[in-house]
């Protein structure tokens, strides 16, 4: 049995971090889907929602991209507090003093493609 939370078409998850990845803002949709209250997220590293299935190489690419002041996009499997997971299509924007991530629901086929790709990565 899967503990997957499937985002609705209306879900739009937004978070902001400082340059070290510490959460400085999270919107209501992000809190709802990840299962955290806002005060549990503020001041924590964004990897609080990192799922162990995500390959290290995917986040290495994300960080290398945004640190060059370029926008990164990709599919991310995140953990839910207390168990479970959810997939998002993420766009991460570099800002003056950190990063903003906006996430929406990916299609089933996009998730399947990402899962296949991530199985080949470390």
DSSP H or E run through 58:
helix 56-67
The 10s digit of each residue's pLDDT in 49-88 is: 999 999 999 999 999 999 999 999 999 999 999 999 999 9
The 10s digit of each residue's pLDDT in 29-50 is: 999 999 999 999 999 999 999 9
pLDDT of 122 over the 80 cut: no
Provide the domain limits for residue 39: 13-119
Task: Return all residues near 46 (Cβ < 8 A) that are at least 6 apart.
Answer: 15, 17, 21, 22, 23, 101
Q: How many residues does the chain have?
A: 122
pLDDT (average), residues 4-9: 97
Q: Is 70 left (phi over 0), alpha (psi -120 to 50) or beta?
A: beta
Does residue 5 belong to any structural domain of this protein? no
Does residue 8 belong to any structural domain of this protein? no
Number of domains in the chain: 1
pLDDT of 1 over the 60 cut: no
Does residue 4 belong to any structural domain of this protein? no
DSSP H or E run through 100:
strand 98-104
Does residue 25 belong to any structural domain of this protein? yes
pLDDT of 3 over the 80 cut: yes
């Amino acid at each position: 049995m899967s503990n997957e939370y499937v985002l609705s078409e209306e879900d739009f998850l937004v978070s902001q971090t400082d340059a070290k990845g510490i959460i400085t803002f999270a919107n209501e949709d992000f809190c709802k889907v990840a299962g955290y209250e806002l005060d549990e997220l503020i001041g924590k590293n964004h990897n609080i929602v990192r799922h162990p299935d995500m390959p290290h190489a995917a986040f290495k690419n994300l960080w290398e991209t945004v640190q060059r002041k370029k926008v990164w996009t990709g599919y991310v499997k995140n953990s839910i507090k207390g168990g479970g997971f959810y997939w998002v299509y993420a766009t991460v924007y570099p800002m003056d003093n950190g990063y903003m991530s906006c996430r929406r629901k990916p299609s089933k086929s996009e998730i399947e493609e990402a899962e296949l790709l991530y199985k080949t990565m470390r």
